[in-house]
Amino acid sequence: MIWLTWRQFRTQAATVFAALAALAVVLAVTGPSLAHDYAAGIAACTAHGGCSTFVDQFFNDHQTLYFGLVAIVMFVPAVIGLFWGAPLITRELEAGTHRLVWNQSVTRTRWLATKLGLIGLAATAAAGLASLAVTWWSSPIDTAAADRFPRLSPLLFDARGIAPLGYAAFAFTLGVTVGILIRRTLPAMAITLTVFAVVQIAMPLAIRPHLIPPVRLTTTITATNVNGFLISPGRPVHVTVGVSEPGAWIISNQTINAAGHVVSGVPVSLSTGPCVPAAPPRPPFSQACFTKISQLGYQQQVAYQPAGRFWAFQWYETAIFLVLALALAGSCFWWTRRRLF
Amino acid sequence: MTAVIETQRLGKRYGRRWALSDCTLDIPAGRVVGLVGPNGAGKTTLLNLAVGQLAPTSGSIEVLGGRPAGGPAQLAKVGFVAQETPTYAGLSVADHLRLGARLNPGWDAALASDRIERLGLDPARRAGKLSGGQRAQLALTLGIAKRPELLILDEPVAALDPLARREFLQSLMEAAAEHELSVVLSSHLVADLERVCDYLIVLVDSRVQVAGEVEELLATHHLLTGARRDPATLPADQHVISASHTGRQTTLLVRTEAPIHDPAWTISQVSLEDLILAYLSQSADTTRGHRPVLEVHK
pLDDT tens, A80-108?
999 999 999 999 999 999 999 999 999 99
Residue B245 is predicted with a pLDDT of 87
Residues 6+ apart with CB under 8 A from A255: A221, A238, A239, A262, A263, A264, A265, A266, A298, A299, A300, A301
B49, B51, B54, B75: which to substitute to probe chain A, counting the most A Cβ within 10 Å?
Answer: B75
Which contiguous run of DSSP H or E holds residue B62? Answer: strand B58-63
In this structure, are A283 and A302 located in the same domain? yes
Test B86 with A338 for CB contact under 8 angstroms: no
pLDDT digits (tens, 9 = 90+) for B73-86: 999 999 999 988 99
**Cβ neighbourhood burial of B249 (10 Å; 0-12, 13-18, 19+):** middle
Residue from the list A4, A104, A341 with its beta carbon closest to the beta carbon of B54: A341
Q: Chain A: residue nearest B48 by CA?
A: A341
**How would you label B187-197 residue by residue, b for 16+ Cβ within 10 Å and e otherwise?**
bbebebbbebb
Residue B294 is predicted with a pLDDT of 39
Test A103 with B78 for CB contact under 8 angstroms: yes
Chain mean position to CA A167:
10
Residue A224 is predicted with a pLDDT of 84
In this structure, are A202 and A314 located in the same domain? yes
Residues spanned by the domain of A208 = 2-212+309-338
Alpha-carbon distance of A72 to A57, in angstroms, equals 24
Amino acid present at B161: D
In terms of DSSP H, where are the helices of B132-251? 132-145, 162-179, 190-196, 214-220
Residue A299 is predicted with a pLDDT of 92
Amino acid present at A198: V
**How would you label B258-275 residue by residue, b for 16+ Cβ within 10 Å and e otherwise?**
eeeeeeebeeeebebebb
Domain total of chain A: 2
End-to-end CA distance of chain B: 49
- Is the per-residue pLDDT at B110 higher than 60? yes
Residue A179 is predicted with a pLDDT of 96
Strands B249-255 and B221-227: antiparallel
Banded model confidence at residue B236, pLDDT cuts 50, 70, 90? confident
Residue B2 is predicted with a pLDDT of 76
Residue from the list B86, B88, B103 with its beta carbon closest to the beta carbon of A105: B103
- Is the per-residue pLDDT at A68 higher than 50? yes
CA A120, A123, A129, A130 torsion: positive or negative?
Answer: negative
In this structure, are A263 and A313 located in the same domain? no
- Which residues lie across from B249 on neighbouring strands? B227
Alpha-carbon distance of B104 to B106, in angstroms, equals 5
pLDDT digits (tens, 9 = 90+) for A2-14: 999 999 999 999 9
- The C-alpha R_g of chain B, in whole angstroms, comes to 21
Write the CA distances from A219 to A255, A298, A301, integer angstroms.
10, 9, 6
SS3 content of chain B, % helix, strand, coil (to 5): 35, 30, 35
Test A103 with B80 for CB contact under 8 angstroms: yes
DSSP 8-state assignment for residue B126: B
In this structure, are A26 and A115 located in the same domain? yes
Alpha-carbon distance of A6 to A119, in angstroms, equals 9
- Is the per-residue pLDDT at B298 higher than 60? no
Interface contacts A/B by beta carbons within 8 Å: 76
Test A105 with B89 for CB contact under 8 angstroms: no
Min Cα–Cα distance to chain A from B188, Å: 21
User: Is the ipTM here above 0.90?
Assistant: no
Q: Chain B: residue nearest A4 by CA?
A: B99
Chain mean position to CA A334:
32
Amino acid present at A105: S
Residue B192 is predicted with a pLDDT of 82
Q: Where are the domains of chain B?
A: 3-204, 220-287
Interface of A with B in 111-150 (CB under 8 A): none
In this structure, are A103 and A18 located in the same domain? yes
Write the CA distances from B4 to B52, B61, B235, integer angstroms.
14, 10, 36
Write the CA distances from A157 to A204, A306, A338, B274, integer angstroms.
9, 13, 39, 76
- Which residues lie across from A129 on neighbouring strands? none
DSSP A97-140: THHHHTTSSS-HHHHHHHHHHHHHHHHHHHHHHHHHHHHHHHHH
Query: What's the topology of domain B3-204?
Result: Rossmann fold (3.40.50)
CB < 8 Å to A99, chain B: 53, 80, 82-83, 86
Alpha-carbon distance of B236 to B253, in angstroms, equals 14
DSSP 8-state assignment for residue A266: B
> Residue B15: phi, psi to the nearest 5?
60, -115
In this structure, are A275 and A187 located in the same domain? no
pLDDT digits (tens, 9 = 90+) for B194-211: 888 999 999 988 888 899
Residues 6+ apart with CB under 8 A from B23: B7, B9, B10, B11, B42, B46, B59, B203, B207, B208
In this structure, are A122 and A255 located in the same domain? no
Number of H helices, E strands in chain A: 10, 6
Residue A84 is predicted with a pLDDT of 96
B59 Rama class: left (phi>0) / alpha (psi -120 to 50) / beta: left
Q: Region B233-259: what's the mean pLDDT? A: 87
Write the CA distances from A313 to A190, A306, A309, B87, B256, integer angstroms.
30, 11, 6, 47, 81
- The C-alpha R_g of chain A, in whole angstroms, comes to 26
SS3 content of chain A, % helix, strand, coil (to 5): 65, 10, 25
Strands B182-187 and B32-36: parallel
A185-202 and A87-95 helices, crossing angle to 10° = 170
pLDDT digits (tens, 9 = 90+) for A141-170: 998 888 788 899 988 999 999 999 999 999
In this structure, are A268 and A146 located in the same domain? no
- Is the per-residue pLDDT at A40 higher than 80? yes
